[in-house]
Amino acid sequence: MGDFKIDISELDELDIPRYAPVFQCVGELFGDYVGVYFKLLIDDQEYILQRRDDLFVLYQVHEANEISYEMFTVDEEYKVVSAGFDDYEMHTVSGDRVIQRRNTNNIESLVFMKRSNGADVDGYNGSIGYVQYNQEHDVRLMLIYQQMYNSQGKVHGYHIGKLPFQVLIEKGIGAKQRGSRVPVKSKRYMRGDYDVREHPYLYNMAVIKDFGLTEFMEHGAFALQKDNQIVRYYKMMYQTKEGYAVTAFPFGKQYKYDDFETEFAKYGFYSKVPEFLIEIHNDENRDLNRYEAVASFMKEIEMAPPEDVIQLNLRFEGDGNNGTDSWDNRRLIT
């Protein structure tokens, strides 16, 4: 979590005309002015914070009285459980942070898993799943990457930046969870890595499947491939009791990773993990860290003993539609 300097300053009824654009924005957003209001300085930037139960709204006044606002919600421990950003929303589901994009309505998350059978392929004992779910078509995509497991659940960009180790596409999983008896249709593909210097036979087989035997015999594997290494994908046929995958190579269809992108695009899925999702998962997003800092700061204030309460803020009571509405000063600590 980032370090932020946060101060609270006095706010009373005399400030209402000065912050009229903020309260106009409040009325447009909610249709009322209900809440408790605070004036905060966050890294010397001035904000008006509105607290509506578990909803926090940070308002900021810019040139020509233009108003920007940011929203987030907290739980009973003042932990941030949801937040809105420019292009997506973040929610906490069963302890995991998930992202919902505004343009596709798809849900995305990162899941860190530890292999039950210990170290496996290339010595990795963990894997990271980039999960995307299209609610409209009830399709889920999981891109699985290898990484050593760590108890903090931190995801390292080095591993995520590579091509995924597995590609899993599932249809009907949401209906199944809702009680449907229709079986989930799934397709799982495993990555094959072939280096001509280490496994020339497998390398040659992969080239033949790409170009055909005639081209292979006429030009040779390296002249066709123009690289010492090949990465291809194969449909997974089954898994052994020990947890090892058996694929259709060399008899089944061979895929390049680009071949999947057409199907991904049908459902608005992405072929690479976005940087902002890694930041959210690792708790390294600057905006989210600021919300966490504000929530923690307000917890200290609102949990303070009465003898430490010395600072004013504003509380609005009523719904803005009758003569009993009022502003009330309330004392808090600095």
| pLDDT tops 60 at residue 319 | no
pLDDT averaged over every residue in the chain:
84
Q: What is the pLDDT of residue 324?
A: 45
Q: What is the pLDDT of residue 327?
A: 52
Model confidence pLDDT, tens digit, residues 42-54? 998 999 999 999 9
Tokens 């799943």 correspond to 129
| pLDDT tops 60 at residue 140 | yes
Higher pLDDT, 244 or 52: 52
What gap in Å lies between CA 232 and CA 190, rounded to an integer? 8
Query: Any long-range contacts for 224-228 (C-beta under 8 Å, 24+ apart)?
Result: 228/195, 228/196, 228/197
What gap in Å lies between CA 267 and CA 249, rounded to an integer? 28
What mean pLDDT do residues 267-279 have? 92
What mean pLDDT do residues 63-92 have? 93
What mean pLDDT do residues 294-315 have? 70
| pLDDT tops 50 at residue 19 | yes
Is 234 within 8 Å of 192 (Cβ atoms)?
Answer: yes
